[in-house]
Amino acid sequence: MAEIRDIEVVVFDVLGTLVDEPGGLRAALREALPASGDDAVDALLAMWQQHVEREQQRIAQGHGAYANTETIDAEAAAHVADHAGLTDPATIARLATAGQRLPAWGDSVAGLERLARHFPVLGLSNAGRTALPRLNAYAGLRWHQALSAEAVSAYKPAPEVYRLAIDTAGCAPERVLMVAAHAWDLRGARATGLRTAYVRRPVGDPPTGSDVFDGWFDGLDDLITALTAR
């Protein structure tokens, strides 16, 4: 575990890095469809995730106007409901907000609190500007500032999202550390000049042998120790 020096501001991805996105969505699907078995729920989760990924890629490629995560999640919920034969409007409406009820990983809340004693800590999420504060409140995540990619009508890894974090940090990009459990996210951050740290999670996108990040960590405790070592 290497020390990471000369950092002024730490920026965290949220979905998958600090909260268990698949676990939260799976729980919401089980709540909406209590008679469904694990295999059926997993298939519906995959359908949901594929819809979100497809829509965000479509927007990134310029094939449609920007839509925030609330809109895309509502579409995903309707698609899943139709496939599963779910017709109750209230249940479908609650399912559409499942992305705002995602549990934090075991070290996330205490880790953020500990790190915030040493650095300004920002969240940088693809979650929409309405969904993000609700997600943070549900998971117990406390920030100095939480930034939604909706502010620039784009999704990571679009460079304008990372520039939003750089502008908010108010310092040179090489003094801003982006932390994520997704190598694709860190590659986008690195391309805009940010420093990068990968944190391993049960879900996410692990680095490949060709990735060059400033640090690779098994959890937030290791990362924070590296950042605060003196």
> What's 56's domain CATH number?
1.10.150
Provide the CATH number for the domain around residue 178. Answer: 3.40.50.1000
Mean pLDDT, the chain, as a whole number?
96
Q: Are residue 191 and residue 213 in the same domain, yes or no?
A: yes
Q: Are residue 46 and residue 116 in the same domain, yes or no?
A: no
pLDDT at 123: 98
Percent of the chain's residues with pLDDT above 70: 98
pLDDT tens, 87-101? 999 999 999 999 999
Q: Are residue 80 and residue 109 in the same domain, yes or no?
A: no
The pTM assigned to this predicted structure is 0.95
Domain presence at residue 200: yes
pLDDT at 204: 82
Pick the closest to residue 126 from 4, 1, 16, 8 (CA basis).
Answer: 16
pLDDT at 4: 86
pLDDT at 229: 81
pLDDT at 52: 97
pLDDT at 136: 98
Determine the average pLDDT of the residues in 3-29: 96
Provide DSSP, 155-210. Answer: -TTSHHHHHHHHHHHTS-GGGEEEEESBHHHHHHHHHTT-EEEEE--SSSB---TT
Cis-peptide, bond into residue 157, ω within 30° of zero? yes
Q: Which domain holds residue 28?
A: 21-100
Q: Are residue 196 and residue 121 in the same domain, yes or no?
A: yes
- From the number of C-beta atoms within 10 Å of its C-beta (0-12, 13-18, 19+), residue 61 rates as exposed
pLDDT tens, 117-143? 999 999 999 999 999 999 999 999 999
pLDDT tens, 142-163? 999 999 999 999 999 999 999 9
Q: Are residue 171 and residue 206 in the same domain, yes or no?
A: yes
